[in-house]
Structure 1
Amino acid sequence: MRDAQPRTIYLKDYQPPAFLIDETELSFALGEQHTQVRSRLRLRRNPAVAGVQGLELHGCDLELLSLAIDGEELAEGQWQINGELLQIAEVPDEFVLECHTQIYPQNNTSLEGLYKSSGMFCTQCEAEGFRKITYYLDRPDVMSVFTVTVEADATRYPVLLSNGNLVSAEDIGQGQHRAVWHDPFPKPAYLFALVAGDLAVVEDGFTTASGREVELNIYVEEKDLDKCDHAMASLKNAMRWDEEVYGREYDLDIFNIVAVDDFNMGAMENKSLNIFNTSCVLAKPETTTDMGFQRVEGVVAHEYFHNWSGNRVTCRDWFQLSLKEGFTVFRDAEFSADMGSPTVKRVEDVTLLRTAQFAEDAGPMAHPVRPDSFIEISNFYTVTVYEKGAEVVRMIHTLLGAENFRKGSDLYFERHDGQAVTCEDFVAAMEAASGIDLGQFRRWYSQAGTPIVEVSGTFDADRGSYALTVKQSCPPTPGQPTKEAFHIPLAMGLIGEAGALPLSLEGVPADPDTADNTQRVLNITQPEETFVFTGLAEEPVPSLLRGFSAPVKLRFGYSRAQLLRLMRSDTDGFCRWDAAQQLAVMEIEAAVAALQADQPVNVADDFVGACRALLADDALDPAMVALMLQLPSEAYLAELYHPVDVHALHQARDEVRLALGKQLSEILWQVYQRCQSDEPYAPSAEQIARRSLKNCALSYLMRAGGEQAVAAAVAQFENSKNMTDRLAALTQLVNSPAEYKAQALQRFYQDWQHEPLVINQWFQVQAMCQLPGTLEKVRSLMGHPAFDIRNPNKVRALIGAFCGQNTVNFHREDGAGYAFLADQVIDLNRSNPQIASRLLVPLTKWRKYLPAVQGRMRAELERIMAEPALSNDVYEVVSKSLAE
């Protein structure tokens, strides 16, 4: 729990470790009442550090039973415990430290270190969980070779796993057995893993490019054996892709995945023993949606890719977290794009960035991709570090090109294999391999905030030229009132009446190696620059930020006619989708004005016509059509207004949905029927696309109302053989006045009460219901036998979904939603501070709203702040949120 004065840790204060650990031997005696841990560490002074005499090791919630150096036990006066530090005043230059501790995994509700989940022992050590297992130099720049011995009851825990390759396994009498694991690759403590449980296994294998055979295993509860095929196929696809795209081959004889139900994160890349949240590994059509299948594929790939970008080369300190996470998110996004639709994947990623990450950049927790300071590192597993970090890597890929980027990644791995390094080391490798100067580009790592790029265009008909003037700026963020100019790659094209036009940039010769001369990347490096394009016979419409080439807010004064041309004719899928979004924003803004004037809401004929044309064109990718027809979310709209009137935006958006549903009713029915299929389910890009468009059509038809739509939703719910269609129908019914919804909810629960992940979806559907009374429903569901406040998945499904995604009900005018969230944060602060601090995010945005709303939200933050035993996790978020 929080000290009287929480300590802020600064990047500028980084010092190398005074000692290194060459070898780590761990021995675990797992028991029902307690677990005993013996460590044997071979330490030596770091030759790069002078003047440090004593040794300091990290530890938290440990009972120290004995301590010895080179076989001689230390008396109590030879060491002391000071907070989370074990201090030994005098040690030799090289020595073996033996430590015997006792811990209580069954009481560990924080889900950090060694704990129990559904009767199984498991670990989560990133970022600083290893110190809850034994005293150690728990920092990522101390890398050691681990040998691990695990002893446990053979009946209760027949499976004993740790990192690396299995050395031996044997019965040791009295119902106990033992397994010894050895990992030959040095790793920091955060990558340590241990699992012991009664688990079933799905086995497979993979032959690497060099011909080595790798054993692949996915360990799950017996009841979940039929849900592992997709994860195994995803793993093998990822292994092959990493060999082909990055030249990275797996390096051990075994790769294990274990599914755990109680887990704070999605998954963890521990060397050769990946521990997954069950939601990220289990999948079958009857229980898992298309989105769930895609999530499993992406997360399995992400954790596997970490074997090189995170494990073989790791981060020097936690400020460099994006070194491994940003790079690996970029890699898993490219993999997912190759497995499915690149444009759809890009739009989905940008949607997350423009809502969650842009909001973070504009709030009190804004921080650079490489933060300057933190109180609790767990608070910096953020969309900025992950998603914006991935965008920074993507921009390097754009600036260098695919070939040079591959050379840079090869050099990076070659230079730093087995090392703990920095973001600077990654950028330096890219520069050295490509010969391209990324000096100014480095500001993306050190400056917080979302740059604003304002563009204006002027056409000179006499000269046949079009001038683009680009201005960049970045608003102040906490601790950074002024910003220097970024290096922004602005991908662009010019669209004429017949499509994309050839580009001729004045003063720049054409690139003979570029096959497509209709797109160019402009290097924006100054506060203001002008680019002139020549040889144009007509006034073009600029297609800007193609592929979302940089994480910026783009401002260009598009007319409706220009946006309609881009929506209809742009050859870039992202820009085409974005044009549809901008037109939809115009309609919602008009709806807000109409409602304020007590006038009916009408949607412009040109926008309705454009939507009708999309629906009628069966040659288009159905997934892209569905994305283009989805109105901007309330979270995205909230980023466009200040102050935000939640209820006005919600009503206006809903009225636009209603108007579109009514005016497009006939063609929506045609599309709904066209997308029906009886073929067996497959999580293929083609089938996913068809289902997404079908369910998009159903959502509009249900909003338009009528018995026919309700009948279609009921039939889809009752007859569908896959969870995607069934859950989509249930969602529409729950958000409608249909009498059948209570029966549907009861039937859904009865059908799937034995499947925890499906029941989480049942909780989520109800928590996200837009109708009045949802808060009371959420409160009642917290007393349901299937809900468990100690399980992070259930907390996220019910409390997190309501507070983070149900905008209109969370922002109830009486402030009850804010009080509800504060109550849950205070409660969880005592048992799982990580989850408590992550739940807090909606309250941190209090300054965005109307004055009366601000007061109610701030009061709840102050109530949390007044708690006497606040964890560092929660304290940091609340104190920064309240800071003036």
Structure 2
Amino acid sequence: MRDAQPGNIYLKDYSAPRYLIDKTALRVDIRQDDTVVLATLDVRRNPDANDRETSLVLDGQGLSLQSLSIDGKPLTPEQFSATADELLIHNVPEQFTLTSEVIIRPKENSSLEGLFKSRTIYCTQCEAEGFRGITYYLDRPDVMSEFTTTVVADQAECPVLLSNGNLLETGELPDGRHWATWHDPFLKPAYLFALVAGELSVVEDNFTTCSGRKVVLQLYVESKDLEKCDHAMTSLKNAMRWDEEVYGREYDLDLYMIVAVDDFNMGAMENKGLNIFNTSCVLAHQATTTDDGFNRVEAVVAHEYFHNWSGNRVTCRDWFQLSLKEGFTVFRDSQFSADMGSPVVKRVENVTMLRTVQFAEDGGPTAHPVQPASYMEISNFYTATIYEKGAEVVRMIHTLLGPELFRRGSDLYFERHDGQAVTIEDFVAAMAEVSGRDFSQFMNWYRQAGTPRLTVTSGYDEQQRQFKLHFSQSCPPTPESQNKQPFHIPVTVGLVTDAGDLPLSPAGETSRVVEITETEQTVVFEHIDCRPVPSLLRNFSAPVKLNYPYSFDELGFLMAHDSDGFNRWDAGQRLSIALMQSLIKDFRTGEPLQLDSRLPEVFAKVLDEIEADQAMQALVLTLPTEFLLAELSDVIDIEAIHQVRRFVCGELGKTLVTAWRKAYLDNVQPQYALSGVAMARRSLKNLSLRYLLNSGVEDSLSLAHEQFMTADNMTDRLAALSGLVNDPRDAAVTLAEKALDKFYQDWQQEPLVLNQWFQVQASCMRPGGLERVKKLMQHTAFDFHNPNKVRALVGVFCNSNPVNFHRQDGAGYQFLADNVLALDKLNPQIASRQLTPLTKWRRYDLSAQSLMQEQLSRVLAAPGLSRDTYEIASKSL
């Protein structure tokens, strides 16, 4: 908690640590009410440090210091001083052994940082600065140490004792307690430390590496969850093989462990050799997990495994370099997921998230560069900009270099910096060295916030057989900079005619990467015999907002003829957006809404493509979300957006009701299968069900109810339940209430399934949403201390139910502020992240702005506010 206004930490002020810790020996003694941590640290002065001060400053929070000695000699009170945040030891030697003993209380640790207890399991979360809640330490990523950890606990309460690395030895104590000692031979910073103690069951498998070593794979879960581990284990083995084949990275220990815990602030954590996962990111079974859930487990398991090299073996020098590990690893896990499934579908999913979440972040008060220049609380920088935009920046490097040179660059990076804590500049330097490219302008992507706007016009000269594209780029002001330097933007271009893609090189290539580096730039294509339709930004080659004056006919043409799957989908989105934006204007002026007949005609053609991939069909036939329409609005009109999208869904449902019913029935499967084809068919079937419900035809409710009652998998069951819950018809309300009750009775013993039960109700857009959510917060299944439950109910309502959250009386805003203030006293990380909807107040009308500002001011004025929440609230105002 803060006593005064917190200050900023600046990248420009970085200096090397005054001291280093070569070896760390921990003895963590878990007792009934508290835990004793004995730390023995081999410390020496850093020869690269400029500061020659002889004092040692260690980080520490919430620690009760019991003893302190140097080289076995106890220190007197005059030789050190301790505050709430640090331990200062005066006049230390050049090299010495520091021993400290502290007491901590994991059971009282509601922040879920450091060492805490989740249900029956003790576990740790040390990224970014949680280790200082375990013992006094140099808790910064550029201090890397060799760890040996002994865990001691009651054998009945905690039969499983785990930490990083290899198990050295175990033993029993006479009082019913036991111990285990683990050793990690690889240097690591404290944020990668992990410890788990509790009653757990294990699923074991093995993997043989490319060099022939056998690696034991272990997934630790509660015994009731053993049947939900197969998919995670398969995903892990697939990721290990993929990383060897695509990046040449082999796993380096003989044991790889994953532990699933229910109370966790993040999705998962890549601690060396002992990954700790939120249960939602590792447990999967057809009865309890949707197809999206299965895909998420696969992606997160791969992400944390890939961190073994891009984050662990090579880590970040300081937290300003966070995207060095996260952006690069998100790019790697996206590549993996694309290879495991459909590259186009994966790309669409990534870009949809980028456009709705990251673009909004880039345009808001908390916008920051991929490599921030400053921060107040590092926990607030685990953002879409660091992760998703950071991945897009790496993807652009991959686009500019091509796969072969990019692989050579990554090889050089890993080999040059193995065992080091480095910077984004070191990563880019490796890419520059293997390619001979100058990346100095490209670094603007890392150092400037904001989403560039790329405006393109075209011209065709029939006599000269030339087609010209004129590009102009700009970037709006963001908090860190009013004036932006031009970005280096790779734009992948294709030219499409009735005959297909035109060749753009002597080798017959039909796509060309055009590099836009100037504010204004013209590109000329020679030997073009007829005017083409440009296919711009293929595969979304750069994270920009593209503006090209496509006509309706040109967009329809690209949907039918473009060879780039992403741009086929994007053309459909642009077409739908243009029509809905026109209808939004009509709604505001009181004009009667009428759907342009060309949209149902295009949808009918897509539905009629017999040979089409059902996953792509479902993507193309899914209308842009309310959140994307809001992001594209100058002033967000929640009611207009909601009513227009609902109207369009209804009209498409009614006009194409026969086609939707056929698509639904054609994609009913006799039995469940976990495959790409089966997932694709479920996605088109359930989209068709939504349109049938929107059409209002009488049998749609019975169809949804029957699917809910008979489904053999959670994807179909939840789709039907969501459809019933959101249907405004009186008959649907009764069916929805009965279905919700049955769902709860069937799954009340499954926390992850109940999270989905909360989500469905929190996102219900029928009137009275706030009252329903408040009532659910009193439900016995809701736990305010559990981040998953808070995200499922409070987070989903405030982020994913705009028509109910943005009530005209401001009650939704007050509800969010109340919960943020309550959460801030328990778990500041979760509190600050929940505040996001209020930070966007500038995008709404004056009445909503005033009400949202009022709640932000109330949060900011609260006494004892955490640094996490203070930073977000203060920047937002």
Q: TM-score, normalised on structure 1?
A: 0.98
Partners of 1:601 and 1:656 within 8 A in 2: no
Aligned to 1:227: 228
Aligned-partner Cα distance in 1 for 2:113–2:83? 21
Aligned to 1:807: 802
Show the 5 A alignment for 1:96-245: 96-245=97-246
Aligned to 2:790: 795
Aligned to 1:605: 597
Partners of 2:356 and 2:627 within 8 A in 1: yes
Show the 5 A alignment for 1:402-801: 402-503=403-504, 510=506, 512=507, 517-682=509-674, 684-736=675-727, 737=729, 738=732, 739-801=734-796
Aligned-partner Cα distance in 2 for 1:388–1:80? 43
In the alignment, is residue 872 of structure 1 matched against residue 863 of structure 2?
no
- Is the partner of 1:441 in helix, strand or coil? coil
- Is the partner of 2:443 in helix, strand or coil? helix
Aligned-partner Cα distance in 2 for 1:3–1:580? 53
Instruction: Note the C-alpha offset of 1:77.
Output: 1.4
Aligned-partner Cα distance in 1 for 2:514–2:443? 18
Aligned-partner Cα distance in 2 for 1:528–1:413? 38
- Counterpart amino acid of residue 755 in structure 2: N
Partners of 1:344 and 1:623 within 8 A in 2: yes
- Counterpart amino acid of residue 559 in structure 1: S
Aligned-partner Cα distance in 1 for 2:452–2:585? 29
Aligned to 1:377: 378
In the alignment, is residue 816 of structure 1 matched against residue 817 of structure 2?
no
- Is the partner of 1:410 in helix, strand or coil? helix
Instruction: Note the C-alpha offset of 1:350.
Output: 0.1
Show the 5 A alignment for 1:25-424: 25-50=25-50, 51-424=52-425
Residues 466-524 of structure 1 deviation map (CA, whole Å, 9 limit, x = unaligned) = 110001111110020101011000001011123211225xxxxx4x4xxx511000010
Q: Which runs of 4+ in 1 moved over 6 A?
A: none
Aligned-partner Cα distance in 2 for 1:195–1:583? 52
Residues 89-129 of structure 1 deviation map (CA, whole Å, 9 limit, x = unaligned) = 11000000000000000000000000000121100000000
Instruction: Note the C-alpha offset of 1:680.
Output: 3.1
- Counterpart amino acid of residue 687 in structure 1: A
Aligned-partner Cα distance in 2 for 1:479–1:113? 32
Aligned to 2:857: 862
Partners of 1:681 and 1:722 within 8 A in 2: no
Aligned to 1:843: 838
Instruction: Note the C-alpha offset of 1:597.
Output: 4.2
Aligned-partner Cα distance in 2 for 1:167–1:641? 60
Partners of 1:489 and 1:521 within 8 A in 2: yes
Aligned-partner Cα distance in 1 for 2:86–2:13? 18
Aligned to 1:21: 21
- Counterpart amino acid of residue 245 in structure 1: V
- Counterpart amino acid of residue 238 in structure 2: N
Instruction: Note the C-alpha offset of 1:706.
Output: 2.3
Instruction: Note the C-alpha offset of 1:596.
Output: 3.3
Aligned-partner Cα distance in 1 for 2:720–2:759? 14
Q: Structure 1 residues 701-710 or 58-67, which shifts more?
A: 701-710
Residues 273-321 of structure 1 deviation map (CA, whole Å, 9 limit, x = unaligned) = 0000000000000000000000000000000000000000000000000
Aligned-partner Cα distance in 2 for 1:15–1:321? 17
Aligned-partner Cα distance in 1 for 2:713–2:595? 35
Aligned-partner Cα distance in 2 for 1:306–1:372? 24
- Is the partner of 2:136 in helix, strand or coil? coil
Equivalent residue pairs, number: 872
- Is the partner of 1:258 in helix, strand or coil? strand
Instruction: Note the C-alpha offset of 1:595.
Output: 2.5
Aligned to 1:507: none
Aligned-partner Cα distance in 1 for 2:487–2:70? 53
Aligned-partner Cα distance in 2 for 1:83–1:31? 24
Partners of 2:81 and 2:89 within 8 A in 1: yes
Instruction: Note the C-alpha offset of 1:174.
Output: 1.2
Partners of 2:60 and 2:132 within 8 A in 1: yes
Aligned-partner Cα distance in 2 for 1:93–1:758? 56
- Is the partner of 2:17 in helix, strand or coil? coil
- Is the partner of 1:798 in helix, strand or coil? helix
- Counterpart amino acid of residue 361 in structure 1: D
Aligned-partner Cα distance in 2 for 1:603–1:16? 63
- Counterpart amino acid of residue 315 in structure 1: C
Instruction: Note the C-alpha offset of 1:417.
Output: 0.2
Instruction: Note the C-alpha offset of 1:605.
Output: 2.0
Instruction: Note the C-alpha offset of 1:83.
Output: 3.7
Residues 427-484 of structure 1 deviation map (CA, whole Å, 9 limit, x = unaligned) = 0011111222212111111011000000000111222211100011111100201010
Residues 136-179 of structure 1 deviation map (CA, whole Å, 9 limit, x = unaligned) = 00000000000000110011100000000000111122101110
- Is the partner of 1:493 in helix, strand or coil? strand
Q: Structure 1 residues 424-433 or 597-606, which shifts more?
A: 597-606
- Is the partner of 2:173 in helix, strand or coil? strand
Q: Structure 1 residues 803-812 or 316-325, which shifts more?
A: 803-812
Instruction: Note the C-alpha offset of 1:17.
Output: 0.3
- Counterpart amino acid of residue 546 in structure 2: L
- Counterpart amino acid of residue 388 in structure 1: K
Instruction: Note the C-alpha offset of 1:215.
Output: 0.5
- Counterpart amino acid of residue 734 in structure 1: V
Query: Identity of counterpart residues, as a percentage?
Result: 60
Q: Structure 1 residues 807-816 or 753-762, which shifts more?
A: 807-816
Partners of 1:161 and 1:194 within 8 A in 2: yes
Aligned-partner Cα distance in 2 for 1:616–1:809? 37
Instruction: Note the C-alpha offset of 1:535.
Output: 1.7
- Counterpart amino acid of residue 800 in structure 2: Q
Aligned-partner Cα distance in 1 for 2:594–2:604? 16
- Counterpart amino acid of residue 362 in structure 2: D
Aligned-partner Cα distance in 2 for 1:499–1:669? 33
- Counterpart amino acid of residue 533 in structure 1: F
| Match 1:852 to one of 847, 850, 861 | 847
Partners of 2:457 and 2:469 within 8 A in 1: yes
Partners of 2:269 and 2:277 within 8 A in 1: yes
Residues 591-611 of structure 1 deviation map (CA, whole Å, 9 limit, x = unaligned) = 223333434322222221111
Aligned-partner Cα distance in 2 for 1:818–1:593? 27
Partners of 2:365 and 2:876 within 8 A in 1: yes
Aligned-partner Cα distance in 2 for 1:443–1:203? 46
Q: TM-score, normalised on structure 2?
A: 0.99
Aligned-partner Cα distance in 1 for 2:29–2:619? 53
